Chain A
Amino acid sequence: MIELSEVHKTYPGGAEAVRGVSLTVPQGALCVLIGPSGCGKTTLLRLINKLLPLSGGAIRVAGRDIAGEDAVSLRRRIGYAIQQVGLFPHMTVGENIAVVPALEGWERRRIQERVAELMSLTGLPPGYAARYPRELSGGEAQRVGVARALAADPPVMLMDEPFGALDPVTRERLQDEFLAIQGRLHKTVLVVSHDMDEALRMGDRIAIMRDGRLEQEGTPAEILLHPATPFVREFLGVERAFAQLARLPVTMALDAKWAAAAEPAGLSFAGNTPVKEALLAMAAGNVRAARVTGEGERSGGVVTLRSIAALLGSGRKGPPERPAAAAGEKSAGAESE
């Protein structure tokens, strides 16, 4: 768990990079820190592993206040991937990945096994272990950067735009691979991004920063459905909302006003069907409403063209008629009951 409370950072020159940020990344969660360039994201990460001294506030990692911790041993427990990747050019890929295990004094054999494991985990061919960083493409270098940060199995990871300089295809693939890794390892991750799609794709939670302040923090659905400020709304963008229909489950778009008794016949979707898919199927079938089957504790219901439109417009016009249960707490507008 990473807990920031009222964190401030003013650089020696007087630049106020972080102005009172309180943020918690729960144990095992992946939080994407997003915001425009220069809003203080990198600064915030560097405060957490004590690369920079705090100007105010407090930070706790795994329950311990970092103020009282030795910087070097704190950093050994926090995997860190810097924005510029920063692979060591005089070391091979294998040696780069092995840096922290070697610092920790692992046996050679265990290090070798670990390097091989991480290379396969991050999709690097085994033959690459003997290559030097200058012999890698940008995407390969970023994989090595991620593998290196994961090497000693740190419970907490800080990653600064780890997929930043990649073409969209490679980026999506790396994002997926990282999500698969995270699905198995359940680390507490704070990853910086400046790309909203990446944030929505990867984040269990999203924290949006602007000018050194936290504008909003919440689950992707909460943020999509209830942008807290005009800035967040604009940052999300309306086109973005369309793109998000592909990611949100249809249970997010249930129509509360549809009488349960009058269930439409014909089309029916599983609860985890993306809204966009449902919308396309409804358009193709020329129906205005379709059934959504329940899933786990979530009850099913009915999705209508109107309720989808409401979800789509929520980025602009406020909340939809009936926000899903999971997104209830932080409602920005009035409920329509």
Chain B
Amino acid sequence: MNRRTDRLAAWAGAAVAVLLLWAAYAAGLLGYLLTEPGEVLRLLGQHVVLVLTSGATAVTLGLGLGIAISRAPLRRLAYPVIAGVSLGQTVPSLALLALIFALVRTIGFFPAYLALTLVTLLPIVRNTYQGLLGVDRDILEAGRGMGMSARQILWRLELPNALGAIFAGIRTALVINVGSAALAFLIGGGGLGDLIFSGIDTRRNDILIAGALPTVILALAVDWLLGRLERVVVSRGIRADG
């Protein structure tokens, strides 16, 4: 994809978004958002905290687990872990939430955090593992032959070269995370889901929109930020657009 069509698509998207917003405003759908911005901000804050904490945990754990099962001594574990991870991904977030709730038997932030971490973990583990496995064997042979230790090979060769795949996993995972965090309200975890579900319950579309719109914007923002970060962190020598 070249830069020009990218930019064109971005402008077109922005134009459509502005048009939709105007239509929503005209239809009175932004009523709640405009009259109660404080409440929306409070819930957005909760949402962001959920995303950040569970996201950070998932990235740390996911990278660690993905690296661990790609090491020779633990590679036997890779198949069951990846299979388990894939199975986990087919379970709907809502079911996972219910499951966690049933297991920890409390409501509030903690079960929501736990469920979100799990949901987010899966793509990260899989992409980290596959990214590391996909690194060209010749590079590793050269590194070993030049006297790099196993650790230096991991940090200086394997991870930098797997970073594209790892970032793709993290991006997918965090976008899913932002969406799934809207379900946290169902087990007392707060967040923008509060507005979405209240809006559905009370048939107040302006309340629903006040929850849904910031959720969508947050997801887009997270994806955009990670895209920027990727451009900084992943070497130009291996980037598709380098």
Interface residues of chain A, those whose CB is within 8 Å of chain B, are 46, 49, 51, 72-76, 80, 82, 84-92, 99-100, 103, 132-134, 148-149, 158
Instruction: Give the CA-CA distance A158 to B144 in the complex, in Å.
Output: 14
Q: Specify which of A51, A90, A132 lies most central, judged by the most chain B CB atoms within 10 Å of its CB.
A: A90
CB of A218, distance to nearest CB on chain B (Å): 28
Instruction: Give the CA-CA distance A87 to B141 in the complex, in Å.
Output: 10
Would you list 14 pairs from A and B whose C-beta atoms are within 8 A, ordered by A residue?
A46-B145, A51-B144, A76-B147, A84-B141, A86-B136, A86-B138, A86-B141, A88-B157, A89-B136, A90-B161, A90-B237, A100-B147, A133-B237, A148-B146
The A-contacting residues of B in range 5-42, CB under 8 angstroms, are none
Scoring B residues 112 to 155 as 1 if CB is less than 8 Å from chain A, else 0, what string do you get? Answer: 00000000000000000000000010110111111111001000
Contacts beyond the supplied A82-B142, A85-B138, A89-B139: 13 A-B pairs with Cβ under 8 Å? A72-B148, A75-B145, A75-B146, A75-B147, A80-B142, A82-B138, A86-B142, A88-B139, A88-B143, A90-B160, A90-B234, A90-B238, A158-B145
**Chain B residues with CB below 8 A from A90, complex form:** 160-161, 234-235, 237-238
Interface residues of chain B, those whose CB is within 8 Å of chain A, are 136, 138-139, 141-149, 152, 157, 160-161, 234-238, 242
Say yes or no: A80 contacts B237, CB within 8 Å. no
Say yes or no: B139 contacts A72, CB within 8 Å. no
Among the listed A73, A82, A158, which residue makes an inter-chain contact with B147, where contact means beta carbons less than 8 Å apart? A73
Instruction: Give the CA-CA distance A91 to B157 in the complex, in Å.
Output: 9
CB of A42, distance to nearest CB on chain B (Å): 10
Instruction: Give the CA-CA distance A75 to B153 in the complex, in Å.
Output: 14
CB of A34, distance to nearest CB on chain B (Å): 21
Instruction: Give the CA-CA distance A147 to B142 in the complex, in Å.
Output: 13
**Chain A residues with CB below 8 A from B145, complex form:** 46, 49, 51, 75, 80, 82, 158
Instruction: Give the CA-CA distance A87 to B242 in the complex, in Å.
Output: 17
Among the listed B139, B144, B237, which residue makes an inter-chain contact with A134, where contact means beta carbons less than 8 Å apart? B237
Contacts A89-B237, A132-B236 given; does A82 touch B141 at CB 8 Å: yes
Q: Which 8 A-B pairs have the closest CB atoms?
A: A86-B142, A132-B237, A75-B147, A90-B235, A76-B147, A80-B145, A86-B138, A84-B138
